[in-house]
């Protein structure tokens, strides 16, 4: 009976228990399935948002290139090549007298792969004499070095990485990582009870957490979900996910994911993830070229990137690195000589630059803006695009150095408060519209206000060439020797006030030939000419040169009361440099997918927007600016035989100091002023000019030597009268005119038409 | 009249200096110009290659220009004026173009232009590459750029005017195409006249 009575109760209990268990099991299974879906989705789906990688233009090596041995060594250093007499791997070089041997890295360029190769580059007095392959009989005519990685476009949450495949990684890296972080990685199922027990024991003994029992799989999951909360629930989830992950993926897949996922450092708000970017960030080279001591350092970093920040705590990191090296040796991963060698090696962390790939924020800013029209933000931050830019690191260095060094000099000589001057500059190619260098402020590493793109400061006299160009397009009215009045002008403005411009020196100079008025940057003749051709037409010329702002056609424009950013000024002067052919400025050449498939090209585009003849005349006058006008100062820096053309610009009360000009191969624009728009006391000649001249000197520019168009003829002219001259005239100059419009009448100083026989007598008499 | 006499005199000076260079140099009456920089050197005047500025009505000078004499020594192909690196890049471009890969060709030509920005042979080929990509506006412009740099080289200008003609034709600009064809014909003719009979 009692049994009979107890039976329903026990059955009930059992049933309930089974029910609860079943429900629990189902719930748990559902939960597991959820975790499974989550982890698989994370792992297999869009595994990583891959920031676009931004590359500088590659250095092309070919016989005849103006490049000194020291320049090439400098370039190789910048690319993270190291000196190695055996050229044992890619990214090594060996200089000997008159020759540099280089083991060039392979690289997937836009137009194909350039395989790794060993080259002998021989020099002859500052020029590359020959390039030969050491490892093969035939030699290439032209070889590209791999381009420098100059930045990446990472999303707002700041995760940046360079994707790696396990096969590209030196074997020591994964092996060493396993040895240090998770010795039983190859055998456990995702969770290691042994490790947990060992860690618990150690922690108990110490009284606090000294050791983690997490496997590499668990660490990967922890990294995936970006949380370091040490709750039991989180830990249980991690363990479960680790078990699930191991069921779906191979050990190598998990290890590869770990190599790409692990957090290795912080650079401002940019998080450095993965060993690919880590190698760039700390050692400025691809992961394949890491040496044992460098691998050990990075493996050691995994334990804690801020505690073991190699740039901040080098001693602490050295200790950790050596400990890791000892593990490598004990595990038989490296032999004793290698171990000893690695111990003796310095840390080798690239200290010259904070934030490895964030070197040229001003330029990368321009790249982003140019891409914004064509790509969605997510394309740029997630798809791992490879962006090949026009940046020329040598030009960029020259521009940065001369702005950074000259501004304090100016402050000192002008007794200005240190740090008050700001500067910006742009260097472009003379033909083809490539932006080679860009500086947005004197703090060149600061990714903030980009003055080269955004500071629309009045351009002052930089506008004058366009006023004169407008005039020279009317050959019946104006030629370079046309005599202009230098007289006071008063104008009633639309608002009723009187405008009475002055020359900068507040003096009157008497009638001047047109080209000299430009060379001396006289205001009154310019206003005179501007009024004659009309502000509408001047504005139209500015637009044809590349200006795209919304300035009003007012007379004040003739003296440069138009705010234009340095980059746009460079665009306008580049049109003058290229004989009237405008090439829209571009910072990008090509875009590739992450797998190296060509995606977009930004081809050279040209269009003749200004007529060749008048542009030739203005360019001639701009050479006079530098030869004898307000730009003379450039020859205290540039060699006298280098011909350049340019223009100074100064605004009211010396608030803005500009210089813009070009050689045969480069256009450069420099602005100096203050952010609060206060006067600096600097004119175009005293502020921006010295920077410009130094940049052009360092670029080793080619003389400006335009081709005279068929529409132009050159004749000898007497400067006093603006009429034809002959050998009797003292003040005679060869001046170009539009064909058929040269002065026909002879100057008083000339004898006029002479009997040829008498003339012969003169010569031989 | 004045103009003419002056030209005559210039010619006489040049001729005399060439013949009696020593006499000229020692005469003590050699004329010294006080210009601030060397005079722009004169060259055999080629037919100016007018290009329409912006999209105005196309006005081109018809008929042979007075005094046009194609100089016999214009380089006929790029190899004569290009460095070995540029020659090699042009070779790559040529084979890419014939393999139907104009983008590849353009990429090689742009590399060449970075080395020799004023090599009109490279610009001329770039124009053909644009034509192959059906980018007619650029084909027209780039060929014009080549003309502006060509120093009157008839061989290159002939190629360029053919490119321009084809580009304008494809854009539906019949008058422009016709004008370009006339220019090309004129250049062909001048070449034929020069050819040894």
Q: Do A60 and B85 touch (CB under 8 A)?
A: yes
Q: What is the pLDDT of residue A101?
A: 96
User: What's the gap between Cα A238 and its chain centre?
Assistant: 42
Report CA torsion sign: A510, A514, A515, A519.
Answer: positive
Q: Do A603 and B5 touch (CB under 8 A)?
A: no
CA distance B47 to B70: 9
**A709 CA: distance to closest CA in chain B (Å):** 7
Q: What is the pLDDT of residue A357?
A: 47
CA distance B188 to B162: 11
Quick check: B28 pLDDT over 70?
Answer: no
Q: Which of A321, A377, A390, A351 is nearest to A156 (CA)?
A: A377
Spell out which residues of chain A touch residue B31, defining contact as CB-CB under 8 Å: 727
What is the maximal distance between C-alpha atoms in chain B? 65
Tokens of residue B170, six digits: 């494809």
What's the start-to-end Cα distance of chain A, in Å? 158
Residue partners of B77: CB distance under 8 A and separation at least 6: B121, B155
What's the start-to-end Cα distance of chain B, in Å? 38
Quick check: B174 pLDDT over 70?
Answer: yes
Q: Three-state DSSP class for A666?
A: strand
Q: Which residue has the tokens 């080679």?
A: A436
What is the maximal distance between C-alpha atoms in chain A? 158
Number of A to B CB contacts under 8 A, please give it: 158
Closest-CA residue of chain B to A731: B34
Element (H, E) at A673: strand A666-673
Q: What is the pLDDT of residue B40?
A: 31
Quick check: B26 pLDDT over 80?
Answer: no
Q: What is the pLDDT of residue A44?
A: 67
Q: Residue A326, Cβ neighbours under 10 Å: how many?
A: 13
Q: Do A752 and B24 touch (CB under 8 A)?
A: no
CA distance A189 to A179: 17
B positions 59-118 inside 8 Å of A (CB): 83-85, 87-89, 103-104, 106-108, 110-111, 113-115, 117-118
Choose the closest CB to B45 out of A603, A710, A744: A710
Residue partners of A37: CB distance under 8 A and separation at least 6: none
What ipTM was assigned to the predicted interfaces of this complex?
A: 0.85
CA distance A160 to A263: 10
Tokens of residue A405, six digits: 């060094």
Q: What is the pLDDT of residues A675-729, one digit of tens each?
A: 999 999 999 999 999 999 999 999 999 999 999 999 999 999 998 888 899 888 8
B11 touches chain A (CB under 8 A): no
Spell out which residues of chain A touch residue B23, defining contact as CB-CB under 8 Å: 764
Which residues of chain A carry a pLDDT beneath 70? 1-7, 44-47, 206-212, 226-230, 351-357, 752-765
Q: Do A746 and B2 touch (CB under 8 A)?
A: yes
Q: What is the pLDDT of residues B135-145, one digit of tens each?
A: 999 999 999 99
- The secondary structure of residue A389, as a DSSP letter, is E
A positions 677-716 inside 8 Å of B (CB): 707-711, 714, 716
* Residue B19 burial by Cβ neighbours in a 10 Å radius (0-12, 13-18, 19+): exposed
Say which of A192, A214, A429, A461 is annotated catalytic.
A461
* Residue A233 burial by Cβ neighbours in a 10 Å radius (0-12, 13-18, 19+): exposed
Tokens of residue A168, six digits: 């590209």
Q: Three-state DSSP class for A205?
A: helix
Distances (CA, A) of A278 to A43, A237, A269, A275, A447: 21, 29, 15, 5, 21
Q: Do A110 and B12 touch (CB under 8 A)?
A: no
Spell out which residues of chain B touch residue A599, defining contact as CB-CB under 8 Å: none
Q: What is the pLDDT of residue B141?
A: 96
A positions 116-155 inside 8 Å of B (CB): 140-142
Q: Which of A666, A634, A663 is nearest to A648 (CA)?
A: A634
A565 within 8 A of A413, measured Cβ to Cβ: no
Q: What is the pLDDT of residues B78-100, one digit of tens each?
A: 888 888 999 999 999 999 999 99
Q: Do A605 and B141 touch (CB under 8 A)?
A: yes
Range from A623-627, B155-159, B191-195 carrying the lowest mean pLDDT: B191-195
A259 within 8 A of A235, measured Cβ to Cβ: no
Q: What is the pLDDT of residue A229?
A: 61
B56 within 8 A of B38, measured Cβ to Cβ: no
CA distance B3 to A726: 12
Choose the closest CB to B51 out of A603, A608, A643: A608
CA distance A427 to A424: 11
CA distance A443 to A421: 11
**B85 CA: distance to closest CA in chain A (Å):** 5
Q: Which residue has the tokens 């194909």?
A: A112
**A406 CA: distance to closest CA in chain B (Å):** 29
Is residue A461 part of the annotated active site? The answer reads yes
CA distance A654 to A101: 52
A106 within 8 A of A116, measured Cβ to Cβ: yes
Q: What is the pLDDT of residue A624?
A: 95
Q: What percent of chain B has pLDDT over 90?
A: 53
Tokens of residue B9, six digits: 């005199």
Q: Residue A369, Cβ neighbours under 10 Å: how many?
A: 12
Q: Three-state DSSP class for A415?
A: coil
CA distance A573 to A168: 46
**B135 CA: distance to closest CA in chain A (Å):** 11
Q: Residue A510, Cβ neighbours under 10 Å: how many?
A: 8
Q: What is the pLDDT of residues B99-134, one digit of tens each?
A: 999 999 999 999 999 999 999 999 999 999 999 999
Is residue A477 part of the annotated active site? The answer reads no
Q: What is the pLDDT of residue B49?
A: 39
Q: What are phi and psi of A671, to 5 degrees?
A: -120, 140
Spell out which residues of chain A touch residue B115, defining contact as CB-CB under 8 Å: 60, 62
Tokens of residue A180, six digits: 């240090």
A52 within 8 A of A110, measured Cβ to Cβ: no
Q: What is the pLDDT of residues A316-374, one digit of tens each?
A: 999 999 999 999 999 999 999 999 999 999 988 876 554 444 789 999 999 999 998 88
User: What's the gap between Cα A493 and its chain centre?
Assistant: 44
Choose the closest CB to A736 out of B40, B111, B144: B40
Distances (CA, A) of A276 to A165, A212, A298, A469, A515: 9, 25, 11, 53, 58
Q: Which residue has the tokens 């350049």?
A: A644
**A756 CA: distance to closest CA in chain B (Å):** 7
CA distance A360 to A147: 14
Q: What is the pLDDT of residue B195?
A: 64
Q: Do A734 and B40 touch (CB under 8 A)?
A: yes
Q: Do B85 and A589 touch (CB under 8 A)?
A: no
This prediction has a pTM of: 0.83
Task: State how beta strands A512-513 and A483-484 pair.
Answer: antiparallel
Task: State how beta strands A607-608 and A581-582 pair.
Answer: antiparallel
Quick check: B1 pLDDT over 50?
Answer: no
Say which of A69, A159, A181, A400 is annotated catalytic.
A181
**B134 CA: distance to closest CA in chain A (Å):** 14
Spell out which residues of chain A touch residue B157, defining contact as CB-CB under 8 Å: none
With helix as H, strand as E and coil as C, how does A56-103 read?
CCCCEEECCCECCHHHHHHHHHHCCCEECCCCCCCCEEEEECCEEEEE
Q: Which residue has the tokens 């995936």?
A: A224
């Amino acid at each position: 009976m009692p049994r009979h009575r107890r039976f329903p109760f026990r059955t009930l209990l059992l049933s309930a228990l089974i029910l609860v268990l079943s429900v629990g099991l189902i719930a748990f299974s559902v939960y597991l399935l959820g975790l499974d879906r989550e982890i698989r989705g994370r792992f297999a789906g869009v595994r990583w948002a891959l920031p676009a990688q931004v590359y500088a233009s590659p250095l092309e090596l070919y016989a005849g290139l103006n490049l000194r041995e020291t320049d090439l060594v400098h370039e190789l250093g910048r690319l993270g090549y190291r000196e190695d007499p055996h050229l044992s791997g890619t990214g090594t070089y060996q200089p000997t007298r008159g020759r540099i041997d280089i083991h060039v890295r392979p690289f997937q360029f836009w137009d194909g792969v350039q395989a790794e190769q060993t080259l002998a580059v021989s020099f002859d007095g500052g020029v590359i004499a020959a390039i030969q392959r050491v490892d093969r009989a035939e030699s290439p005519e032209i070889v590209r070095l791999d381009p420098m990685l100059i930045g990446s476009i990472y999303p707002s949450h700041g995760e940046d990485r360079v994707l790696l495949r396990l096969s590209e990684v030196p074997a020591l890296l994964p092996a060493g990582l396993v040895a240090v972080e998770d010795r039983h990685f190859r055998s456990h199922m995702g969770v290691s009870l042994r490790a947990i027990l060992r860690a618990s024991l150690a922690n108990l003994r110490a009284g606090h957490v000294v050791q983690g029992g997490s496997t590499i799989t668990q660490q990967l999951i922890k990294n995936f979900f970006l949380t370091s909360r040490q709750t039991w629930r989180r830990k249980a989830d991690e363990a479960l996910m680790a078990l699930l992950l191991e069921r779906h993926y191979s050990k190598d897949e998990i290890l590869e994911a770990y190599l790409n996922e692990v957090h290795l450092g912080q650079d401002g708000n940019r998080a450095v993830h993965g060993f690919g970017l880590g190698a760039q960030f700390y050692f400025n080279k691809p992961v394949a070229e890491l040496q044992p001591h460098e691998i050990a350092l990075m493996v050691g970093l995994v334990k804690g990137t801020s505690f073991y920040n190699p740039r901040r705590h080098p001693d602490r990191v050295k200790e950790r690195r050596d400990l890791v090296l000892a593990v490598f040796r004990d595990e038989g991963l490296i032999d004793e000589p290698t171990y000893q060698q690695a111990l003796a090696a310095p840390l080798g962390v690239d200290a010259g630059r904070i934030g490895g790939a964030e070197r040229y924020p001003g330029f990368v800013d321009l790249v982003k803006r140019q891409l914004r029209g064509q790509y969605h933000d997510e394309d740029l931050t997630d798809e791992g695009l490879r962006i090949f830019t026009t940046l020329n690191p040598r030009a960029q260095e020259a521009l940065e150095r001369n702005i950074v060094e000259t501004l304090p000099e100016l402050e000192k000589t002008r007794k200005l408060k240190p740090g008050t001057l700001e500067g910006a500059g742009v260097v472009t190619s003379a033909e083809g519209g490539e932006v080679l260098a860009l500086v947005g402020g004197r703090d060149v590493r600061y990714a903030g206000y980009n003055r080269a793109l955004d500071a629309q400061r009045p351009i002052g006299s930089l506008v004058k060439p366009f006023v004169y160009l407008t005039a020279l397009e009317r050959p019946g009215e104006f030629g370079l020797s046309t005599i202009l009045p230098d007289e006071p002008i008063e104008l009633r403005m639309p608002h009723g006030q009187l405008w009475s411009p002055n020359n900068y020196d507040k003096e009157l100079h008497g009638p001047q030939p047109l080209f000299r008025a430009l060379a001396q940057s006289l205001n009154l003749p310019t206003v005179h000419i501007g009024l004659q051709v009309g502000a509408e037409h001047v504005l139209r010329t500015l637009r044809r040169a590349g200006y795209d702002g919304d300035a009003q056609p007012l007379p004040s424009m003739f003296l440069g009361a138009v705010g234009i950013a340095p980059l746009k000024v460079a665009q306008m002067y580049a049109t003058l440099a290229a004989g009237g052919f405008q090439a829209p400025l571009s910072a990008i050449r090509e875009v590739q997918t992450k797998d190296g498939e060509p995606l977009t090209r930004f081809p050279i585009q040209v269009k003749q927007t200004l007529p060749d003849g008048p542009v030739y005349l203005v360019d001639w006058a701009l050479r006079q600016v530098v030869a004898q006008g307000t730009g003379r100062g450039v020859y205290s820096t540039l060699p006298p035989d280098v011909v350049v053309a340019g223009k100074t610009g100064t605004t009211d009360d010396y608030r803005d100091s500009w210089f813009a000009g070009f050689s045969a191969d480069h256009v450069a624009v420099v602005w100096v002023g203050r952010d609060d728009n206060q006067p600096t006391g600097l004119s175009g000649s005293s502020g921006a000019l010295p920077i410009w001249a130094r940049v052009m000197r360092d670029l080793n520019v080619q003389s400006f030597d335009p081709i005279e168009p068929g529409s132009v003829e050159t004749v000898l002219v007497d400067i006093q009268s603006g009429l034809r001259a002959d050998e009797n005239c003292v003040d005679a100059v060869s001046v170009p005119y539009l064909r058929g419009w040269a002065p026909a009448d002879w100057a008083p100083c000339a004898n006029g038409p002479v009997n040829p026989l008498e003339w012969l007598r003169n010569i031989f008499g | 009249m004045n103009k003419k006499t002056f030209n005559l005199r210039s010619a006489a000076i040049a001729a005399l200096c060439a013949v009696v260079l020593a006499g000229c140099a020692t005469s003590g009456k050699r004329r010294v110009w006080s210009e601030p920089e060397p005079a722009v050197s004169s060259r055999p005047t080629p037919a100016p290659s007018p290009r329409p500025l912006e999209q105005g009505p196309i006005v081109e000078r018809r008929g042979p220009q007075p005094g046009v004499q194609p100089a016999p020594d214009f380089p006929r192909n790029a190899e004569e004026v290009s460095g070995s690196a540029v020659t090699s890049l042009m070779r790559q471009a040529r084979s890419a173009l014939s393999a139907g890969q104009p983008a590849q060709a353009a990429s090689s030509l742009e590399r060449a232009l970075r080395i020799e920005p004023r090599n009109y042979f490279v610009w001329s080929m770039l124009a053909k590459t644009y034509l192959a990509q059906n980018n007619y506006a650029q084909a027209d412009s780039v060929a014009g750029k080549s003309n502006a740099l060509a120093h009157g080289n008839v061989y290159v200008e002939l190629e360029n005017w053919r490119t321009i003609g084809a580009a304008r034709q494809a854009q539906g600009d019949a008058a422009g195409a016709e004008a370009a064809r006339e220019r090309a014909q004129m250049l062909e003719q001048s070449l034929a006249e020069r050819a040894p009979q």
